[in-house]
């Protein structure tokens, strides 16, 4: 009788013992980390509780979002809908830029920006982190600042590397969005997260699989999720970047192996066939995580809860989830420059009279960053107060945009120039700017403009200008260059203008110019001149497209009217429109025309046609006259989408044009041209090459670097 009684007592003791607490440790791996969603999905489907969760880098992001109470289905939707090209590219969307920053991106179509604050320097990361900061703010909005991340529906920790001390740092309290921003700051790609004067980068540098962190949270059982990367291709080690990446990978892998040895269970997700940039394949990556966890079914199901106990566990987790705000009543902006804080606060003030709308808020924050004065803005809500944290550009202003131009419209006579646009901000007033362009090479140009708004919030502005230039003016007849002139202009002017929001501006001004043209070689097609011109003018410019390098949708319009004193009036308008017809394709149309209002003899104030987008079958300046019209219809297709920090993309374009030049002796009728080109968008600017065929035996190949559309 005594033995059965002992068995009964032992059984009762076991049934009364608390269950073992389970933690999941999630490894970093960029897009590969999306596989963690499938692991969490399988655990929930089989009623296996996750009492604690810890992660690094992408594992930290997935773990942090799961810790806020979201389901794996919610996480699948988040990564599917996230604008990864914007998050990784880092640049503010063109349509969120102020008009003057739109002008910069149009004039200097590359992704390089140097700062001159304390010497010439690049930013500490190619991605300043504004876009990812906004999404992290939104995704963690209900948890602005916590005494402990144990207060989350699922207790959470993430790991970052303190750049100053060189030590691993575990985030277990504070602002959740800040912790996630720190753990996923990939060195050299994302600007290091600055929190409390400390600089943080990706935790993978020291601890990519935080098994020990999960154990220290109080777990009895730690499930480690390892992302098995594809085998290394020896060909990838033939470059400097490939060797550095692999060298770092070896160190990280050694650390991962040590952590896997300390885990109780390891789920290894085989990700052969995937790459670290495969964010668009989020569904397949999550499925791979689910399938890998299924392989551990036998051991994992021993931790499954009965249905009633599982329901209680889920109910308790949901009860800890906090609601998001529904209204804000006040705005507080924390910025290093009080003038910038005031401008941002004034911009956001109207939102206090509206129902809570994070989309509208983020749009206004991006537009504030789009002025170029701030690196990023992030936000949180405490009670009914909106708190905005501004981060200044540590390296600028002033900032410098380098420019490279290669004109190969005449393959036998390449013209190469280089230069930069240098801008100081806050000169005199908070919104004033001093902008300078310097170009040397085949053409020389110096231009300086001081621009100042007529009031802190006014759209009216004044601008003073000075300029000097020297450039070649080749003239062709068919394939042959028949003359080459040098044009020199020196002058100054002043404008009064009005900005129509971020998309357009109207200017009225007066310019005085000392103009000279002298033939260097060839036939005297045009006379040598030396003039002093005084020119009142009216100019309108609209930049309302989605991208300044290769637009996919939107419009651009430039129109001008000038009255050259002692000579007469002149007007010109150019307009184009892009229409997106599918995810990868657009069509575009353009119209241009100009007139001198008379039939005066040709001079260097005449209009010209010829070149890649102005009848490319004809050479530059082959058609000269005092009046013209030009019509364009074309098709543009993205051949190779880019999803990288450098934004590389490949496009194919085809277009047809009809035009007519008036006032050129010996050239009758309408000119026609059909062309095709490849355009490669790179971080140094668009690289293009193509060919064109036209009427009367015209045809040319062309190649170049620099502005295309």
Where residue 442 falls (left for φ over 0; alpha for ψ -120 to 50; beta otherwise) is alpha
Cα 128 from Cα 124, distance rounded (Å): 8
CB 56 within 8 Å of CB 211: no
Give the DSSP per-residue string, 70-103. Answer: --HHHHHHHHHHS-HHHHHH-PPPGGGS-HHHHH
Residue of 30, 57, 409, 586 marked catalytic: 57
Task: Give the pair of three-digit tokens for residue 427.
Answer: 């000169």
Q: Is 202 a catalytic residue?
A: yes
**What angle do helix axes 72-81 and 58-67 make, rounded to 10 degrees?**
130
C-beta separation of 213 from 25 below 8 A: yes
Omega cis (within 30) before 397: yes
Q: Do 360 and 395 touch, CB atoms closer than 8 A? A: no
Alpha helices in 588-706 (DSSP H): none
How far, in whole angstroms, is CA 76 from its chain's centroid? 23
Clarify whether 366 is annotated catalytic: no
499 and 491 in contact (C-beta within 8 Å)?
no
Q: What share of the chain is helix, strand, coil (3-state, %, to 5)?
A: 25, 40, 30
Contact indicator for 448, 467 with CB cutoff of 8 Å: yes
Instruction: For residue 666, give both structure tokens.
Output: 């010996």
Q: How big is the chain, counted in residues?
A: 709
The answer to whether 472 and 462 are in contact (CB under 8 A) is: no
- 631 burial (CB, 10 Å; 0-12 / 13-18 / 19+) is middle
Query: What is each CA distance from 219 to 49, 214, 263, 264, in whole angstroms?
Result: 12, 7, 11, 11
Of all helices (H) and strands (E), which one includes residue 189?
Answer: strand 188-190
3-state secondary structure 255-293: HHHHHHHHCCEEEEEECCCCCCCCHHHHHHHHHHHHHHH
DSSP letters along 9-24, please? HHHHHHHHSPPPPEEE
Q: How far is CA 590 from the centre of its chain?
A: 27
User: CA separation (Å) from 555 to 241, 499, 552, 560?
Assistant: 39, 17, 10, 17
Catalytic residue among 202, 278, 544, 547: 202
Q: Rounded to whole angstroms, what are the CA distances from 469 to 105, 212, 466, 525?
A: 22, 65, 11, 22
What are the residues facing 53 on neighbouring strands? 24, 156
Position of tokens 């021993």?
Answer: 302
Instruction: Report, as residue numbers or ranges, the catalytic residues.
Output: 57, 202
């Amino acid at each position: 009788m005594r033995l059965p009684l002992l068995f009964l007592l032992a059984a009762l003791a076991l049934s009364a013992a608390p269950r073992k607490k389970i933690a999941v440790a999630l490894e970093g791996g960029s897009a590969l980390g999306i596989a963690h969603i499938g692991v969490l999905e399988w655990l929930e489907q089989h009623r296996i509780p996750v009492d604690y969760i810890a992660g690094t880098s992408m594992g930290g992001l997935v773990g942090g979002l799961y810790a806020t109470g979201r389901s794996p289905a919610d996480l699948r939707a988040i990564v599917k809908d996230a604008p990864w090209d914007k998050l990784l590219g880092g640049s503010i969307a063109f349509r969120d830029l102020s008009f003057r920053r739109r002008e910069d991106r149009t004039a200097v179509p590359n992704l390089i920006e140097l700062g001159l604050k304390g010497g010439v320097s690049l930013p500490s990361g190619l991605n300043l982190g504004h876009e990812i900061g906004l999404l992290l703010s939104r995704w963690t909005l209900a948890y602005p600042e916590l005494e402990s991340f144990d207060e989350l529906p699922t207790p959470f920790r993430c790991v970052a590397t303190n750049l100053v001390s060189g030590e691993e740092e575990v985030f277990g309290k504070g602002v959740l969005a800040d912790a996630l921003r720190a753990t996923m700051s990939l060195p050299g790609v994302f600007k290091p997260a600055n929190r409390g004067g400390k600089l943080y980068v990706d935790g993978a540098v020291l601890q990519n699989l935080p098994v020990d962190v999960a154990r220290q949270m109080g777990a009895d059982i730690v499930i480690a999720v390892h992302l098995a990367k594809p085998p290394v291709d020896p060909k990838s080690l033939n470059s400097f970047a490939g060797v550095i990446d692999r060298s770092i990978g070896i160190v990280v892998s050694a650390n991962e192996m040590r952590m896997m040895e300390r885990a109780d269970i390891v789920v290894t997700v085989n990700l052969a066939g995937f790459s670290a940039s495969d964010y668009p394949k989020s569904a397949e990556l999550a499925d791979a995580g689910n399938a890998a966890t299924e392989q551990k079914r036998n051991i994992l199901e021993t931790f499954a809860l009965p249905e009633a106990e599982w329901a209680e566990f889920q109910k308790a987790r949901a009860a800890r989830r906090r609601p998001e705000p529904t209204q804000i009543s006040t705005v507080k902006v924390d910025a290093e420059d009080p003038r910038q804080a005031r401008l941002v606060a004034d911009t956001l003030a109207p939102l206090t009279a509206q129902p809570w709308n994070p989309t509208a808020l983020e749009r206004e924050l991006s537009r504030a960053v789009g002025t170029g004065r701030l690196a990023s803005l992030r936000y949180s809500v405490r009670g009914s107060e909106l708190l905005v944290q501004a981060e200044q550009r540590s390296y600028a202003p002033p900032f410098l945009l380098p420019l490279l131009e290669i004109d190969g419209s005449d393959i036998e006579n390449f013209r190469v120039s280089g230069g930069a646009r240098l801008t100081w901000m806050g000169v005199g007033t908070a919104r004033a700017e001093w902008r300078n362009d310097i170009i040397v090479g085949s053409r020389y140009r110096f231009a300086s403009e001081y621009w100042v708004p007529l009031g802190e919030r006014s759209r009216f502005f004044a601008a003073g200008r000075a300029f000097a230039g020297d450039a070649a003016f080749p003239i062709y007849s068919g394939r042959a260059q028949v003359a080459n002139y040098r044009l020199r202009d020196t002058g100054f002017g002043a404008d009064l203008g009005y900005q129509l929001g971020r998309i357009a501006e109207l200017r009225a001004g007066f310019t005085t110019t000392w103009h000279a043209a002298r033939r260097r070689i060839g036939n005297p097609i045009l006379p040598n001149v030396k003039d002093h011109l005084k020119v009142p003018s009216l100019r309108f410019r609209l930049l309302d497209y989605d991208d300044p390098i290769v637009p996919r949708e939107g419009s651009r319009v430039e129109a001008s009217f000038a009255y050259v004193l002692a000579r007469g009036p002149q007007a010109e308008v150019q307009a184009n429109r892009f229409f997106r017809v599918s995810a990868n394709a657009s069509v575009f149309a353009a119209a241009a025309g100009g007139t001198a209002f008379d039939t005066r003899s040709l001079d260097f104030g005449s209009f010209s046609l010829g070149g890649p987008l102005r009848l490319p079958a004809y050479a530059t300046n082959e058609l000269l006259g005092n009046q013209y019209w030009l019509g364009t219809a074309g098709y543009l297709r993205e051949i190779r989408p880019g999803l990288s920090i450098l934004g590389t993309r490949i496009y194919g374009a085809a277009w047809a044009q009809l035009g007519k030049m008036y006032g050129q002796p010996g050239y009758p009728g309408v000119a026609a041209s059909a062309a095709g080109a490849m355009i490669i968008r790179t971080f140094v600017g668009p690289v293009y090459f193509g060919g064109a065929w036209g009427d009367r035996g015209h045809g040319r190949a062309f190649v170049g670097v620099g502005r295309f559309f």
